[in-house]
Structure 1
Amino acid sequence: MRYLYDRKLFLASLILILSLLGITRANTEVINFAPTRAPSVDLSGFRTSRWEKLNSEDGTRQFALPLAPYGQPWPAVCEHADCQHELFIELPLGDVEEVDWNWDLGYSLRVSWPASTPADFSLEIYTPMELLRLLHSRISLNDTVPTAPLPQTFTTYARIRARDAGVPAPRNHKWQIFPPLVPPLSTQPTVHFHIILDPLLLGFLPRSALPVVCLVIGAVAVGMYVSNRLVPCLGNIAKRVDAAALLSGNVGKKTA
């Protein structure tokens, strides 16, 4: 009987582990930030109108990037303009009055990609002025300080870069039976990934995780309620069984 119980417990644990494998087949890079009031500068000269826009109501968006070479340090990845390994996304976080009212509101920018694609991601958040300085530095232009006061904005920009994190396949190797499990060095891998901009409730809880948190709290509450009702009932049943067993034992002794 004990062996049958252990076997059932092992099978249940195995099923749980296998069901979790489908959830963990992806990698995630996260950056949390708070809305920052900053001057709104003119970025039209850098063709920012072609950049994608992402807000918290869009849900998950899918993109793709060619990976930078394996082992290349981040400062050397896309240090010049028109780099194919980076993506700029505009994050319109709302009007100044709206964000000022939600002064404790934060955001979480998450990038997820399949674990089958070995890749590293770098996520950076820029205000318009910070982005202007970055773009100027990549084309060797000096920063110009505006003399007139500029309107304020909470619009933020995300810079996403990707590089190869896999192990390169050996060169000049003849595969007799099986092909290599990784692409050769001559090919340039591309990673497909998903991006989501998630508001942080109370400054730390992602809004997309709220249903899961509510489900866990509900399950704990139901479990506590059931256990408070079930444990005394099972205790009474156990006492009755013990009393019946003791009574039958005494009757057997008298009969003997």
Structure 2
Amino acid sequence: MLHPFIILPLIVLFICQEVIANTEIINFLAAEERNVDFSSTTVDSWPILNYKNNQGHWNVDPALLDTPLQQVCESETGTDSENPFSCLHELWITLDLDDENWMSYSKFTLRLSWPASSPADFLLEIHSPEAILTRLSRLPHQSAIEDASITEPHLSRTGLSPTRLKYARIRVVDTGVRTPTPDFHASAVHAIPFILILEQLYFGVLPASLLPTVCFLITVLTCAALATPWILSYLDHFIKQARQELRDFSTAQEKKEH
């Protein structure tokens, strides 16, 4: 019959799952800022992560090998003049933090995971609505911001109130060495699949998804601490018995020698 102190490690090993993935994480503060109306721009069509839908799966084509991450999608290459946010090597996501279920949390984390079998590097950045407007205003294509209006938090003429809305920019670059194909051209670089998860931070440091794991570990450690005296007491009996047998054996050997 297996004893509890043997069963417990087996349970831990059973529930542990193999993880084969890379992860990039960015923590940020959800402070209220001036709101911007992007309803008539492409910004309004970006995917949204919120309290009810806090994760999503996407695929993005990586920039060419050896491209510095900070320079990805910073030029007109690969972009559409009619849509300055259409670069193939980046993805923009709206982070809606205004849900009442999240209002009591001031810190959040955005976690990006992609297969280890996909050679790539990711860069995560968090932008405020005003930062997006500033970025739009610097572009040559000025019509992109004709319908975007910014309002002071205390003004009511546009009906916009302060918001905790944020925008995430995800850029990706290829880091793999490709094997030449039979036609002597480099093999195709496939889109990199990845998962984004947005969640609140408990106590400012603990992601919500890790709370069950932490609670489990606390329970395991508590049980281990409580069981340690019983385990030591149980083993002490066998230790004393082994010592006594060694003494008896040693005494018997001495008698034979004499």
Cα distance, 1:250–1:115 mapped onto 2, change above 3 Å: closer
Whether 1:33 and 2:8 are equivalent positions in the alignment is: no
Deviations 1:89-148 (A, max 9, x none): 11110158963xx26x31110111111111111111111100111123234549999576
Partner SS state of residue 247, structure 2: helix
Q: CA deviation at 1:186?
A: 6.2
Cα distance, 1:42–1:230 mapped onto 2, change above 3 Å: same
Partner SS state of residue 138, structure 2: helix
> Which one is further off, 164-173 or 204-213?
164-173
Aligned to 1:226: 227
Query: TM-score normalised to the size of structure 1?
Result: 0.74
Cα distance, 1:153–1:147 mapped onto 2, change above 3 Å: closer
Contact 2:24 2:122 in 1 (8 A): yes
> Residue 44 of structure 1 aligns to which amino acid in structure 2?
S
> Residue 86 of structure 1 aligns to which amino acid in structure 2?
E
Structure 1 distance, partners of 2:134, 2:100, is 23
% identical aligned pairs: 32
> Residue 24 of structure 2 aligns to which amino acid in structure 1?
E
Whether 1:110 and 2:120 are equivalent positions in the alignment is: no
Structure 1 distance, partners of 2:246, 2:178, is 71
The aligned runs of 1:4-83 (5 Å cut-off) are 22-23=18-19, 25-79=20-74, 80=76, 81=84, 82-83=86-87
Query: TM-score normalised to the size of structure 2?
Result: 0.74
Whether 1:163 and 2:173 are equivalent positions in the alignment is: yes
Q: CA deviation at 1:220?
A: 1.4
Cα distance, 1:95–1:213 mapped onto 2, change above 3 Å: closer
Count of matched residue positions in the alignment of Structure 1 and Structure 2:
225
Q: CA deviation at 1:86?
A: 1.4
More helix by share: 1
Cα distance, 1:225–1:52 mapped onto 2, change above 3 Å: same
Aligned to 1:177: none
Q: CA deviation at 1:152?
A: 0.7
Contact 1:65 1:191 in 2 (8 A): yes
Structure 1: runs of 5+ lacking an equivalent = 1-15, 175-183
Aligned to 2:211: 210
Pick one of 69, 92, 108 that aligns with 1:88.
Answer: 92
Aligned to 1:11: none
Structure 1 distance, partners of 2:253, 2:101, is 86
Structure 2 distance, partners of 1:55, 1:195, is 12
Structure 2 distance, partners of 1:117, 1:223, is 40
Structure 2: runs of 5+ lacking an equivalent = 1-12, 77-83
Whether 1:152 and 2:152 are equivalent positions in the alignment is: no
